[in-house]
Amino acid sequence: MHRLREHACARSPFYGRFHKGLADRPLDELPVLTKEMVMEDFDKLVTDPTVRLEDVEAHLATLSGGDELLGGRYRVASTSGSTGRRGLFLWDPGEWATVLASYNRSFDWAGVGAGLTHRTRMAVVSSTTPWHQSARVGASVSSPWVPTLRIDSGDPLESIVERLGGFQPRVLVAYASMAHLLAEEQLAGRLRNSPGFVFGSSEVFTEQAKRRVEEAWGEKPLEVYAATESAGIASECEQHQGMHLFEDLVITEVVDENNKPVPPGTFGEKVLVTVLFSRTIPLIRYEMSDSVKPATSPHCPCGRPFAVIEGIQGRAEDVLRFPATSGGQVSVQPIVFHRVMDTVPAGGWQIAQEPSELTMLLSGVREGFTDATLIDSLRQELGAQGAIVPPVKVRHVPNIPRTTVGKAPLIKARVPGPRRKP
């Protein structure tokens, strides 16, 4: 961290100002960096003065799925902009090697093993959009020892199922909602895969989704927490006791809205990440809106030294606000909705808060369930939170709509209500 801070202050005009006079202060006294600040001051923040935002943007627009480099040196990726402005990030070859290694660590911890003695067939169902980091990773990792099938999670489900059936992966990596959907396909007999390892990432991995994956393939899935900006942040080990933070690569502060650490066992409002290997774009106390819970017991029987987080309930944007029975407003955490929706035998769900109602989308609902029961339990749960419950509607849809990068958010607020400062 000391080396990172020195590098940032010496080589980035932005940090020279931002951290001026703070060289001796501990990390938790440094100012918080937001994506908006990175994008607004991009040219002054990068430590290579030849890198300019307009060139990065122009390069991004030319990506076509290969392993293209900016200026013969940098790999560029963009965040999807699902929470406001898109963020652009780039890595030199050394940083990129660490990015790849951080993703590989999840496989290593799970005991996947790949190498000269055995080949491991891997299927990745995520975004194949060329500017997305997972596509960039895919384009630069190509090994005969890990034959990999990459499928876009925005493709029609039947087509995904058909290709997976033909490929028979030993390792299946997917967005959490997709891992759940594929488990349902397996349990319904339409998919016949027998992966030894299932990894879910990039979205909230609900208890129900994990349970269905285990029912489908007899193995507990492994949850991975990663972001474009930081690459891998945390991952489950073979003990399934939560996710170990990659503390040697990223310092993760789980904080409340005032950037103060939250106690173990409590969901934070957001995380501040300090990416220890970042040099081209130094990220020090960079804010991400994920709501994460540090474990009450930081130790795991596996003996790994890294602290454990119990789970991720979503992003700050997933906290819905309702008028309160006692006046004012009440905030309802994502976990409240998970509790209700986990009882629904569905392949996918999404709760959308509209200006005057709450809509529940359900796909792939199995037997033994009525809309009325669900509406009732949701009303009760929201009532218990002190909310004035708006009209609730259930819509059965063939598929939960996916975003441009193929994710299926569980909770969507379409109400331009009062929001936290970005």
**From candidates 114, 251, 300, 410, binder to Zn ion by CB under 5 A:** 300
**Which of 12, 235 has the CB closer to Zn ion?**
235
Q: Which residue has the tokens 């990726």?
A: 77
- Per-position b or e across 357-380, b if 16+ CB within 10 A of its CB: ebbbbbbbbeeeeebeebbeebbe
Detail the DSSP E strand segments found in 276-414: 286-288, 290-294, 308-315, 320-323, 329-332, 348-353, 358-363, 392-396, 411-413
Contacting residue, 30, 149, 302, 375, with Zn ion by CB under 5 A: 302
Pattern 246-285, binding to Zn ion, x per CB under 5 A? ----------------------------------------
Q: β-strand 75-78 against 286-288: which pairing, if any?
A: unpaired
Strand-pair partners of 153: none
Question: What's the closest the beta carbon of residue 243 comes to Zn ion, in angstroms?
Answer: 9
Which residue do the tokens 């307009």 mark? 54
**Which of the ranges 150-158, 236-244, 246-254, 338-346 carries the binding residues for Zn ion, by CB under 5 A?**
236-244
CA nearest neighbour of 127 among 93, 62, 186, 81:
81
Binds Zn ion by CB under 5 A, chosen from 171, 216, 237, 281: 237
Q: How far apart are CA 131 and CA 404, in angstroms?
A: 11
- Quick one: which of 239, 333, 377, 385 contacts Zn ion (CB under 5 A)? 239
Please give the structure tokens belonging to residue 108: 């290593």
**Which is nearer to Zn ion, 227 or 300 (by Cβ)?**
300
What minimum distance in Å lies between the beta carbon of 306 and Zn ion? 8
Q: How far is the CB of 216 from Zn ion (least distance, A)?
A: 24
- In whole angstroms, the minimum distance from the beta carbon of 242 to Zn ion comes to 8
Alpha helix ranges (H) inside 267-367: 334-341
CA atoms within 13 A on the CB side of 34: 11
Contacting range for Zn ion; rule: CB under 5 A; set: 153-161, 302-310, 324-332, 333-341: 302-310
Given the complex with Zn ion, which of 235 and 280 has the nearer CB atom? 235
**97 to 116, contacts with Zn ion by CB under 5 A?**
none
Residue 394 CB, nearest approach to Zn ion (Å): 39
What is the contact surface with Zn ion in residues (CB under 5 A)?
Answer: 237, 239, 300, 302, 304
